[in-house]
Amino acid sequence: MNRNQVRPQRRHATPSRIERVRRQAVPKPRVIIALLLLLGLVSVMLLDGYLRAEVGNDQRVRSDASASKVPDSVLDGGPFLSFQGGTARTRSVPDKTIALTFDDGPDPEWTQKVLDILDDNDVPGTFFLVGSMISRYPDVVRRMVDDGNEVGVHTFTHVDLSYQSAARVTREIAQTQLALAGAAGITTTLFRAPYSSTNDAIDNYSWPVYKKLGAMGYTSVFIDTDSEDWQQPGVSKIIKWATPKSGKGASVLFHDAGGNRAQTLEALPRYIKKMKAKGYAFTTVSGAQQQTQAQQAQGQQAQGQQAQAPQGTPATAGDTRQSNPEQAAHRTADTATLWEGRALLGAVAVAEWTVPGLATVLAVVGVAVLGRFAMMLVLARRHYRQRNRRRFSWGPSVTAPVSVIVPAYNEKECIANTLNSLAASTHPIEIVVVDDGSTDGTAEIAESLGLPNVRVIRQPNAGKPAALNNGVRHARYDIVVMMDGDTVFEPDTVQRLVQPFGDPEVGAVAGNAKVGNRSTVIGAWQHIEYVMGFNLDRRMYDLLRCMPTIPGAIGAFRRDAVLGVGGMSEDTLAEDTDITIALHRAGWRVVYAEHARAWTEAPASPGQLWRQRYRWSYGTMQALWKHRKSVTDRGPSGRFGRVGMPLVVLFQIVTPVFAPLIDVFTVYAMIFVDFKASLLAWLAVLLVQLVCAAYAFRLDGERYRYLLMLPLQQIAYRQLMYLVLIHSCVTAATGGRLRWQKLKRTGEVGTPAAPGTGVR
């Protein structure tokens, strides 16, 4: 239904209030699709940020903390800590035995090479894995387990658990176990805390965490010897620091991820060969525990006592669920855990593909946005200098009378101001008011003003395009000016608007539409948009000779040109864009008269603004699709298809649709990466926009004070415009139809006080 269609009787066609409420309560499919896409994007980005463990403080800030609550037997005991019946007990690595342990993996590069070295030297390793890394590189974990190595939990995000709540501790462990289950079908009873080292590093803050994990059946693994390879001190020092003293056994720490591990890869095979030459054997953590347990049992037997296997230690030689005693800490994941783990890996895989892909799109969009700003500045300056040369002229001065067509539907608040502003015109005009079936007395108000050269034509409600076409048919002069019924002209507007018709190639002229009701926040935002986005754009398009739209608020046409393309079309909701493209294709030139100003009443509420821009966006898409064959037009008539069509699609549809990624990634980076750097980057983009806006205001002679609203406009208003465009795209993609809805007017935009002053 067109916006001006006469409403049928309420009793026959209007649904009841209850029916309307029920209808509104059911979300439309396209709204549901948009919300699901938004939810999916946010979820994926949150998961990706969490996987990269870049949120929060994960480094120690305490030093010299007391260990008064930690038993001395633990502080001075062996590196393997477990609990039996609530009692802590430790085990050491047997003499001449080394348990090689690796932290922070898996890494697709370094871990694979470490595994190659272990395979070549026929020694096993125990890898303490970060859950987020497992989720991203499950293939490496599968190979690790298949090769006979042992794995343990190193938390999901490499966070110091002694700083976390009990719920966070449980979550970190559980998520890592899920990742292990999804990757290799197992869980593990081994745990190593990030930022831990030897037993004497346990303090009163971390001790409760180890007790909690012990109650859950975990063995906490510490070290006897640290290679400190993370410092990259050199190969010889890594080997020296990893070597235990006096033939003692040791739990030795290396790293297979977390940085450049080239020195580790060089030192590791040399270290293994050196220790084998000294008579050392290599085993896993479970293997070392089993050997120690066996030695203890033999000692007890020698004293005539029966060996007792620990009842609460999960890593025991008697675990019949494992065929490999070197992997006694592994457990086969149950079905529920297995599928939950696979679901986690699937979600991570989606995030791993989606976020980098979106980042690439963001880079392209960012370049396009900055390129557009640069293009607008350069071409707008050139346009300004070209049009303001003293000798510049469109040709012979246009002094002949013109017809001004005012389509009106229920414009009682505005029609008087509109007609009074036209009556003050310095150019000879006739005013044709086409009343499109108004029911509020608009036609009567127009006639009661008693203004000269005003004709009121009444027609049944048929919509704005039909009203304009009716006005064109009744126009007496060769040039027709079209405007909205809620717009006011300055006295010299018509005169300035029609001068380009001195050039016989010009078929239409776009004027400079201004926001008259700019005293409110939403009005000020639209004022910035009109000056910067619309009018600066029109300077660029004018110079490129591919103007996409003559604004409905102010435009002038050759009457024959309009009739030659079939008049204003009802095929789209953007008849102004439709007629402009049609004129281009007919070979006419469309130009911009920046000094011909019109003051229009912009929507005063977010809801009205949404409806207006929704119609504009959707109508523009309709017009572009209707004239898609313009890309194959030849000669001057095909210039819009070759130049204008790509620019409009890129800058008014594609780029704005993806532009929210800039803000989304800014928030993402502030939370998960670097708040300060991300904020500075956002401010830099804002500064570029501020420069462009300031230059646009200078060209239009506007006051700079409104630019104080620009930061808030970028945060709030721009997001609304993005959502409108995305909503329009979803509507177009789902085949939805959009009706023309009339906006509520107040008539607050009055007649300009003097020529050239405008409404401030």
Task: State which amino acid sits at residue 25.
Answer: A
The structure tokens 């020529």 sit at: 755
Q: How far is CA 433 from the centre of its chain?
A: 47
Distance CA 368, CA 652 (A): 12
Distance CA 437, CA 446 (A): 14
The structure tokens 């607050």 sit at: 748
In 300-368, at which residue ranges do the beta strands (DSSP E only) sit? Answer: 330-332
- Give Cβ neighbours of residue 266 (< 8 Å, ≥ 6 apart): 235
Instruction: Report whether 573 contacts 614 (CB < 8 A).
Output: no
Give burial (CB, 10 Å; 0-12/13-18/19+) of 18.
exposed
Instruction: Report whether 293 contacts 91 (CB < 8 A).
Output: yes
Task: State which amino acid sits at residue 689.
Answer: Q
* Direct distance between the N- and C-terminal alpha carbons of the chain, in angstroms, rounded to an integer: 37
The structure tokens 């085993």 sit at: 283
Instruction: Report whether 293 contacts 318 (CB < 8 A).
Output: no
158 is catalytic: no
Distance CA 411, CA 280 (A): 96
Distance CA 116, CA 666 (A): 40
The structure tokens 């009457």 sit at: 559
Q: How far is CA 192 from the centre of its chain?
A: 37
Among 398, 384, 407, 382, which Cα is nearest to 466's?
A: 407
Rounded to 10 deg, the angle between the 138-146 and 166-184 helix axes is 70
Q: One of 160, 203, 229, 255 is an active-site residue; which one?
A: 255
Distance CA 365, CA 371 (A): 10
- Give Cβ neighbours of residue 567 (< 8 Å, ≥ 6 apart): 465, 468, 469, 472
Q: One of 103, 160, 435, 486 is an active-site residue; which one?
A: 103
Distance CA 15, CA 23 (A): 10
Distance CA 479, CA 91 (A): 99
Among 535, 640, 639, which Cα is nearest to 597's?
A: 535
Distance CA 206, CA 197 (A): 12
Secondary structure letter of residue 531 according to DSSP: I
Please state, in angstroms and as integers, the Cα–Cα distance from residue 218 to each residue in 178, 438, 655, 752, following that order: 16, 80, 52, 81
Question: Phi, psi at residue 739, to the nearest 5°?
Answer: -90, 155
Please give the helix or strand (H or E) that residue 74 lies within, else none. Answer: helix 72-75
In this structure, the number of other CB atoms found within 10 A of the CB of residue 560 comes to: 10
Among 269, 311, 293, which Cα is nearest to 90's?
A: 293
Distance CA 372, CA 666 (A): 20
SS3 label, residue 82: strand
Instruction: Report whether 380 contacts 398 (CB < 8 A).
Output: no
SS3 label, residue 558: strand
200 is catalytic: no
Distance CA 448, CA 155 (A): 81
Reduced DSSP (H G I as helix, E B as strand, rest coil) percent helix, strand, coil of the chain, to 5? 50, 15, 35
Helices (H), 185-259: 207-215, 235-242
Distance CA 457, CA 403 (A): 14
Instruction: Report whether 123 contacts 98 (CB < 8 A).
Output: no
Task: State which amino acid sits at residue 525.
Answer: W
Query: What are the catalytic residues?
Result: 103, 255
